[in-house]
Amino acid sequence: MRRELSERPLVIAFLAMLCGLASTHAPANVFYVVALAPFLNRAKAWVALAVGLLLGVGLRPTVEPMVTVPGGTLEGTATMLTSARPTSQGYSAIVESGTRRYLIWLGRDEGFSMGDEIRFQAEVLPFQQARLSTQGGVAILRPTRPIERVRKGPWLWAMGDRLRDSFLGLTSSYGRPETNGIVNALCFNVTSGISPVEYEELRRSGTVHIVSTSGLHVVIVATALAFALYQVPLARPLKLLVLLLVLILYSAAAGFRPPMVRAVAMVGIGLAAYLFQREPDGASAIAASGLGYLAWSPSSMDDVGFQLSYVATAALVLFAPRLGGGAKSLIEYVARPVLAVAQVSAVATIASAPLLAYHFGAVSLVGPLSNALIAIPVAIAVVASLAAWSVSTLWLGVSVGLLKLVVEPMAGWILLVVTRTAALPWSVIETPRPQEWLIVLIYVLLGLLWRPRLRPVSG
């Protein structure tokens, strides 16, 4: 373990940066970096630790207490950190004004995009649901006069919004209302069609992550697109460039959430390694994407989506099984992928449990079962939905056929599994909120269980 960590300076720098950023909440948190010291035995490892820690301390956001005055108003400018998301009451977005984040209601106006600078006057309201504050927001803003755009954001964000709205238009016109909510959430993180009851069932069944576009969705899209590009007679560098550009557009349409940015960055690093015929290192790729994202948005460290995404992905890179060798029988050919899906689900569930207990006070016990049952249908639903959308302009009949014959049955199965497993009396266990030091200790101990796996030599 000592040698493996010392040879990965990016991982050391990323962990040290997290310690430095954590000192925002309590200066003593910076001393968590001491846990790395016993595993460092090279000069470059110590340099990486120092650089990462200094970056974290230097970039840590200033936290100011939010004083909510009943009936009070807030006036000023803010930058939209997310795209405008459709809800049952119009559109909303996370904005940042000064050093604070807010959830602002945009009404029925669809013209705002991620990165826009807006001027507003709004009534300040407290959050009514804990899950609304998972992106670091402190309050809700309800505008008391029309919002003005001061400056437009990057064109890529606006293009992503147009692509997403085009998809929503297709599903609303030709999809079933009973499954549109889960389909829109699966593909583009649009959760306005998910009722509070359905959201609670997703939480209890341990499958809420499927309606929050993340690395899983990027991997699904990247795999399907790579297969399609393999059939096209193009040079390998051009294929990889097309793949990366499409993933960036897809991430923009889904709101450039931290898990997706992480996943696209990892894919980009992996593609570069493949292009230059080098063996990619998953742990270093995760760390590189984390360093870049936190340098751009240091306050994202408090985003539960960021935390869960990186923890789950790191666990999968370190502990997930690898399929190697050929199957010797039909039973083994069928059973091995199913067993691998179950193992992957178990690894992600165990790795996420401490953070779920910390943020939500509950851990799903049926998560591994639920995720194993819906893993393949989720992939089919996402790929078929995006394929239907892609051909809708040229072949509307084919598009509607895919929605009716493939997407809706898969979405129906997903909803059935979620409903049935969530209804089990032992589906979830309520837990007290663990102390932060205990969570750090748990992940250190889990890290100590890792052993490098050598790729078998062929030939």
Burial 429-454 (b: 16+ CB within 10 A, else e): eeeeeeeeeebbebbeebbeebeeee
What does the pLDDT read at residue 41?
Answer: 77
Q: What is the CATH number of the domain that holds 89?
A: 2.40.50.140
Segment (H or E) for 117: strand 117-125
Task: Check whether residue 335 and residue 428 sit in a common domain.
Answer: yes
Last residue within a domain, chosen from 92, 121, 153: 153
Task: Check whether residue 172 and residue 44 sit in a common domain.
Answer: no
Judge whether residue 215 has pLDDT over 80: no
For range 78-103, the mean pLDDT: 78
Task: Check whether residue 8 and residue 135 sit in a common domain.
Answer: no
Last residue within a domain, chosen from 59, 84, 100: 59
Question: Long-range contact list for 124-131, CB < 8 A, 24+ apart?
Answer: 124/68, 124/69, 124/72, 124/73, 124/74, 126/68, 127/103, 130/360, 131/199
- Quick check: 261 and 218 in contact, CB under 8 A? no
- Specify if 304 maps to a domain: no
Domain around 109? 73-153
For range 110-125, the mean pLDDT: 83
Closest by Cα among 68, 92, 89, 66 to 81: 92
Task: Check whether residue 140 and residue 221 sit in a common domain.
Answer: no
Task: Check whether residue 345 and residue 402 sit in a common domain.
Answer: yes
pLDDT, tens digit, 9 for 90 and up, residues 28-78: 888 888 888 877 877 888 888 899 999 998 888 765 544 444 457 888 888
- Quick check: 44 and 9 in contact, CB under 8 A? yes
For range 358-370, the mean pLDDT: 85
Task: Check whether residue 136 and residue 191 sit in a common domain.
Answer: no
Judge whether residue 242 has pLDDT over 70: yes
- Specify if 297 maps to a domain: no
What does the pLDDT read at residue 277?
Answer: 67
Percent of the chain whose predicted confidence (pLDDT) is above 70: 84
Residues 6+ apart with CB under 8 A from 317: 282, 283, 286
Task: Check whether residue 23 and residue 148 sit in a common domain.
Answer: no
How many domains would you assign to the chain?
A: 3
**Distances 408 to 180, 184, 420 between C-alpha atoms, Å:** 8, 12, 18
pLDDT, tens digit, 9 for 90 and up, residues 9-25: 888 899 999 998 888 87
Last residue within a domain, chosen from 97, 118, 153: 153
Closest by Cα among 15, 17, 11, 100 to 57: 17
Label residue 323 by pLDDT band (50, 70, 90).
Answer: low
